[in-house]
Structure 1
Amino acid sequence: MKSSIKLLALLFVFQFGCKSSEKTSAEKENKINISEVTIEAITRGKRENYSINPKQFSYKSTSKGETNVEKVKMTIDEDQWEQLEGLVAAINLARINTLEVPSKKFQFDGDLATTLNVNVNDTVYTSSTFDKKNPPEEIVELVNYIYSLKKE
């Protein structure tokens, strides 16, 4: 009786263990390969660049009279990168350049003209230009997440 229960328990664990590893393999095959995400924000007299890859985050800023000054540089941990991957996966990258922007203050220097670039599988997807403080709804979570890294 005990050996029958042990055998059933072993079969149960083996059956669900195999399905779990199959799912992991399938998830890995469907996973996109992001090499870098950047945000570039420009106006007269000021330029900002945010860059994040699996190893590090950096923020650079240039103002009148300054050269490209690196303000923040930090190592990215696995959790931060996974969160970024999830935010990118939620975006339709093929349509990112056609996103409607909620405001256009950048057209008269009311805000920095900003673009989001996502490098996936050796293809760079570039968003339409938007106000730094008012990104399109479809990318607002990703953009705000990258901005938040500057403050950490």
Structure 2
Amino acid sequence: MYIKSFFLAFFTLLLLHCNAQKNNDSSNAITEKSSDRPFQKIELEEMTRGSRRMIVITPNFKEVEINRKITTLKTTETEWKNLQKLITQLNPDKIESFTPPTNKRFYDGAMAATIRVNIDGTVYSSQTFDAGNPPEQLATLYRKLVSSFKE
């Protein structure tokens, strides 16, 4: 009886271990594929009490909103390719894990900013960070997006 129990427990643990290993392999494949997929839209939103700036960029247009005043411009092919390059350098699945370096937005010392990237219908969003001081991993992308507010 003890031998049967031992073998039953042994095979159960072996099956659980194999199943867990198979699940880890499939999640790694999904992560690798997500960075290869093209993105459809990128957004930057900055806001505080009484003030809001937002930019939405797609392959065809760029919409810049500053305090409810919206300006629509055409997205150039070069601009879109540069953004694609910056996005592929990031792992979209990890955007949410990038930690903001400062917290001035908590007491209106800075606008609260968020970057969102839409890839195949899935939206990857950053943590909210202080406008002008993004997480290090998002700094280049942030500066590129903010330059559109000046146009």
Tell me which interval the TM-score lies in, with the shorter structure as reference length: 0.7 to 0.9
The answer to whether the Cα contact below 8 Å between 2:64 and 2:148 also exists between their aligned partners in 1 is no
- State the alpha-carbon separation in 2 of the partners of residues 45 and 59 from structure 1: 17
Give yes or no for the alignment of 1:44 onto 2:49: yes
- State the alpha-carbon separation in 1 of the partners of residues 139 and 133 from structure 2: 8
Identity rate, percent: 31
Ranges in structure 1 where 5+ consecutive residues have no aligned partner: 1-29, 63-67
- State the alpha-carbon separation in 1 of the partners of residues 149 and 69 from structure 2: 14
1:55 is matched with 60
1:140 is matched with 139
Q: Provide runs of 4+ in structure 1 moved above 4 Å.
A: none
1:34 is matched with 39
2:28 is matched with none
- Matched ranges for 1:117-136 at <5 A: 117-136=116-135
Higher deviation after alignment, 36-45 or 142-151: 142-151
Read off the aligned partner of 2:137 and give its amino acid letter.
Answer: E
- Matched ranges for 1:2-151 at <5 A: 31-62=36-67, 68-70=68-70, 72-151=71-150
Ranges in structure 2 where 5+ consecutive residues have no aligned partner: 1-34
TM-score (norm 1): 0.73
